[in-house]
Structure 1
Amino acid sequence: MNEFSPAAPMTKAATPGGRDSLDDFMEAFEGFREANDERLGAIEKRMSADVLTEEKVDRIGRALDEQERRMERLALKQLRPPLAGNEGGGRALPSERKQAFERYVRAGDERELRRLEEKAMSSLTGADGGFLVPDETETEIGRRLAAISPIRSIASVRTVSAAVLKKPFAITGAQTGWVGETEARPQTTAPLLAELSFPTMELYAMPAATNALLDDAAVDIDRWIGEEVEQAFAAQESAAFVTGDGVNKPAGFMTVPTVDEAAWAWGSVGTIASGMNGGFAPDTAADVLIDLVHALKAGYRQNASFVMNRRTQAALRKIKDADGNYLWQPPSSVGARATLMGFPMVEAEDMPDMAAGSKAIAFGDFARFYLIVDRQGVRVLRDPYSAKPYVLFYTTKRVGGGVQDFDAAKFLEFSA
């Protein structure tokens, strides 16, 4: 029986394609376990694995990765809104702003949008600065980013109207004490406060369209813009949330100072050593991961996740505990995450590889550890001139991020 609490599944309606994909994934995982057991048995007998068996394990591991990505694509597909005319009774009539925005995107007619933004006293009106997209389009972009951006899916996200979010926190906390019912209450000292600052930086994408596409009335403009910018936005912001240096981009959590967990202090992230440079010492991987899990306080551990890249995940997929059970387990349903020791595993490609001194695994409550700040409003500037005969749509949003609670996550450092 696993001592750790199981990860809560992400509830999502399963489609026939999703069920088939999950069945294929579980079948591939069974083949992976059999091949890896054969590899481990060969190592025990001959102190080295057969080359063919190693290649088989790697090949099935790659198939597992591809099957997992396929399930993620199916889950994302379920989030997409239906086109007009599909079953379900159609959709609500578009708002006045959405209709005006659609005329601007399709034909470059900005008169109605200019009137609406002047009426709302917006400072972002005008051809040079672009126009704010309707709320429906902004919501669609935000929802799709949350579905495919790994860190955004587990971090806290706050929407603000200013360029910078300033968040105060207590360094010492208020002074307290115990007193009797009739005893005098001595005056306590005030808490000492400091401030965290989260500036927002501009992120842009520039999808292109043909006039034929824009003239097609069946094309859902909200969905088209969301699909065109999602990959560009997700790739850029995901890298920044992990490794960003804070210069014209968010400050990534991997750039925060680190210190051995025994000497942890606010302003740094605690680390646990793996016991060997570039990997795990023989037969100690499970013990080291348990040390990492329990380095986190119980209040953070309840909602914690592992974060690593796919190459590190592939290495951990082969590891067993002392009872012969695999530490890595496949997702229990379509849309759920794979788990490691009962905790969800989040795959972030920008995490470092396992190497001497690298911090390739992060474990923590990322909703309390990392804060993403979105400035309200996504702007679109229509440009029919720079790349004729194509029409470019210079789409920008402002986003920032940084660590807000340095005690809410720990890193595993691959060092002796």
Structure 2
Amino acid sequence: MSYVKALLERRQNVWEQSKELLDKAEAEKRDLTAEEEQTYQRLNADLDKIDARAKELQEAEQRTKDADEAFRSLLDRPADRDTPKGDNTALRSFLTGESRSYEILPEGRVDFRALTKGTASAGGNTVRTTFYNRLMEYLIESSGLMSAGPTVLNTASGEPIEIPIVTSLSEAALVAEGGQIPTSEPAFGKRTLGAYKYGAMMKVSSELLTDTAVDLEGFLARQAGRALGNKFGAAGITGTGSNQPAGLVTSATAGVTGGTGVVGVPTADNLIDLFYSVIAPYRNSSSAAWLVKDSTMAAIRKLKDDNGQYLWQPSLVAGTPETLLGKPVYTDPNVAGTGLNAKSVIFGDISAYYVRLVGGVRFERSDDFDFDHDMVTFRALLRADGVLADQTGAIKYFAGGAS
């Protein structure tokens, strides 16, 4: 724990150095010099490295817990050759070719923050929950959108789902004594979620499968989760909605457009205006968050309000996101960088975006696909869709001003 504490103190020290550099330039009413800008970028890189190290420590801690659980399971297992095959045996059976396929279903410790609809209950052997949980963790880490907490619907089959929404509310009226009370009905609409298919294939040598002592389950989880997460994550941000998911940015409404002369970079006032362009029920929601590209963070870290306070605040707890105006900030490589007319900053109630997952991630194995190289091929498939259910202003964006 002493190392973790030192890492946290180092992170805070780096951030203080960054603030001191920016404060000095502001006090002298000038931009950063070339040398100061180089130092500032180095400090930002140090922050990113410290964050990455903290993430590695978290993953190592989780691997240790998983290993402890596995050893306890082995030590507690009765020495009975007739004991029915368990979930881990089913996985090993699949990896060694005894069984040809299985489906990973979301049972057990899958942390869907919001709504879960339907769970597949038949077909195939399920792998133990730690494997599926790690797979989902890597899928989420590959997508800032998934990390930010959309509403997730998980269904057993892939038929279209209709989501009813209210597009306008009833309105009351001031009525004179004896006057007629006007009628006012709410208006309803719907959003449709389909099931687009994403796939990835990976090859593993037979020697690796036979001889390795490394975490094969973690290896497969990282490869499949990252591949599927990167592809679906891109559509979840910028998808057109035609033969692919409707992206969050595509469906969001305009909040603030930057002024001329800022080359698309948001100012502190722009971000404050964007924050308050989202009405209180959405911006005060526990699901309200920011989404930006990594490269945008360096610019945002420099911004202060009228009281000289930085809008961006570093996290004091490893593994938790930084905050901007009190709301968590998530980075996603698929959000546009700063530029003229670019939708570079997203803010709002991320739970208004619905992600639909069909069943689990399906894995299939082939010993014949690359037979002449003695390679075993694994195929991972994911069926998913996404749509912004509330398009009345739950999520808004900042667009760089046109000069």
Offset from partner CA, 1:335-373 (integer Å, 9 cap, x none):
1111112211111111111111111101111012x1111
Offset from partner CA, 1:108-127 (integer Å, 9 cap, x none):
1128979xxxxx864xxxxx
- Structural mapping, 1:18-29, within 5 Å: 18-29=4-15
Question: For residue 138 of structure 1, what is the aligned residue in structure 2?
Answer: 132
Distance in 2 of aligned mates of 1:248 and 1:176: 41
SS at match of 2:328: strand
Mean CA deviation greater in 242-251 or 132-141: 132-141
Question: For residue 39 of structure 1, what is the aligned residue in structure 2?
Answer: 25
Mean CA deviation greater in 199-208 or 68-77: 68-77
| CA-CA distance at 1:209 after TM superposition | 1.9
Which of these residues, 107, 128, 144, is aligned with residue 150 of structure 1?
144
Distance in 1 of aligned mates of 2:52 and 2:401: 31
Question: For residue 299 of structure 1, what is the aligned residue in structure 2?
Answer: 281
SS at match of 2:48: helix
Distance in 2 of aligned mates of 1:84 and 1:77: 10
Q: Are the aligned partners of 1:156 and 1:367 in contact in 2 as well (CA < 8 Å)?
A: yes
- With over 3 angstroms needed to count, the CA separation of the structure-2 counterparts of 1:23 and 1:230, relative to structure 1, is farther
Offset from partner CA, 1:110-152 (integer Å, 9 cap, x none):
28979xxxxx864xxxxxxxx6753624343224423553111
- Structural mapping, 1:57-68, within 5 Å: 57-68=40-51
Question: For residue 93 of structure 2, what is the aligned residue in structure 1?
Answer: 103
- With over 3 angstroms needed to count, the CA separation of the structure-2 counterparts of 1:83 and 1:374, relative to structure 1, is same
Distance in 1 of aligned mates of 2:346 and 2:231: 20
Question: For residue 264 of structure 1, what is the aligned residue in structure 2?
Answer: none
SS at match of 2:302: coil
- With over 3 angstroms needed to count, the CA separation of the structure-2 counterparts of 1:83 and 1:68, relative to structure 1, is closer
Question: For residue 114 of structure 2, what is the aligned residue in structure 1?
Answer: none
Distance in 2 of aligned mates of 1:112 and 1:152: 27
| CA-CA distance at 1:84 after TM superposition | 4.3
**TM-score for both structures, normalised by structure 2:** 0.79
Which of these residues, 268, 293, 298, is aligned with residue 309 of structure 1?
293
Question: For residue 198 of structure 2, what is the aligned residue in structure 1?
Answer: 203
Q: Are the aligned partners of 1:372 and 1:401 in contact in 2 as well (CA < 8 Å)?
A: yes
Question: For residue 261 of structure 1, what is the aligned residue in structure 2?
Answer: none
Q: Write the letter of the residue equivalent to 2:275.
A: V
Structure 1 residue 169 corresponds to structure 2 residue 155: no
Mean CA deviation greater in 300-309 or 74-83: 74-83
Distance in 1 of aligned mates of 2:279 and 2:190: 24
Q: Write the letter of the residue equivalent to 2:163.
A: K
| CA-CA distance at 1:80 after TM superposition | 3.9
- With over 3 angstroms needed to count, the CA separation of the structure-2 counterparts of 1:97 and 1:280, relative to structure 1, is closer
Distance in 2 of aligned mates of 1:377 and 1:244: 22
Q: Write the letter of the residue equivalent to 1:140.
A: R
Mean CA deviation greater in 221-230 or 233-242: 221-230
- Structural mapping, 1:124-273, within 5 Å: 134=127, 136=129, 137-154=131-148, 155-163=150-158, 164-173=160-169, 191-216=186-211, 218-256=213-251, 269-273=253-257
Q: Are the aligned partners of 1:321 and 1:327 in contact in 2 as well (CA < 8 Å)?
A: yes
Q: Are the aligned partners of 1:277 and 1:414 in contact in 2 as well (CA < 8 Å)?
A: no
- With over 3 angstroms needed to count, the CA separation of the structure-2 counterparts of 1:255 and 1:334, relative to structure 1, is same
Q: Are the aligned partners of 2:249 and 2:346 in contact in 1 as well (CA < 8 Å)?
A: no
| CA-CA distance at 1:374 after TM superposition | 0.7
Which of these residues, 378, 384, 394, is aligned with residue 361 of structure 2?
378
Distance in 1 of aligned mates of 2:100 and 2:331: 45
Offset from partner CA, 1:160-205 (integer Å, 9 cap, x none):
12313221123344677899xxx9xx99776543221111211222
Q: Are the aligned partners of 1:271 and 1:410 in contact in 2 as well (CA < 8 Å)?
A: yes
Number of aligned residues: 367
Question: For residue 388 of structure 2, what is the aligned residue in structure 1?
Answer: 403
Q: Are the aligned partners of 1:38 and 1:53 in contact in 2 as well (CA < 8 Å)?
A: no
SS at match of 1:294: helix
Q: Are the aligned partners of 2:138 and 2:229 in contact in 1 as well (CA < 8 Å)?
A: no
Distance in 2 of aligned mates of 1:338 and 1:98: 38
Distance in 1 of aligned mates of 2:333 and 2:18: 22
Question: For residue 81 of structure 2, what is the aligned residue in structure 1?
Answer: none
Q: Write the letter of the residue equivalent to 1:381.
A: E
Distance in 1 of aligned mates of 2:233 and 2:359: 19
| CA-CA distance at 1:20 after TM superposition | 3.1
- With over 3 angstroms needed to count, the CA separation of the structure-2 counterparts of 1:113 and 1:243, relative to structure 1, is closer
Distance in 2 of aligned mates of 1:245 and 1:112: 33
- With over 3 angstroms needed to count, the CA separation of the structure-2 counterparts of 1:112 and 1:245, relative to structure 1, is closer
Which of these residues, 356, 365, 377, is aligned with residue 349 of structure 2?
365
Distance in 1 of aligned mates of 2:70 and 2:100: 35
Distance in 2 of aligned mates of 1:158 and 1:113: 22
Question: For residue 287 of structure 1, what is the aligned residue in structure 2?
Answer: 269
Distance in 2 of aligned mates of 1:112 and 1:247: 31
Distance in 2 of aligned mates of 1:188 and 1:132: 56
SS at match of 1:73: helix
Q: Are the aligned partners of 1:133 and 1:380 in contact in 2 as well (CA < 8 Å)?
A: no
| CA-CA distance at 1:223 after TM superposition | 2.9
| CA-CA distance at 1:95 after TM superposition | 6.2
Distance in 1 of aligned mates of 2:323 and 2:101: 51
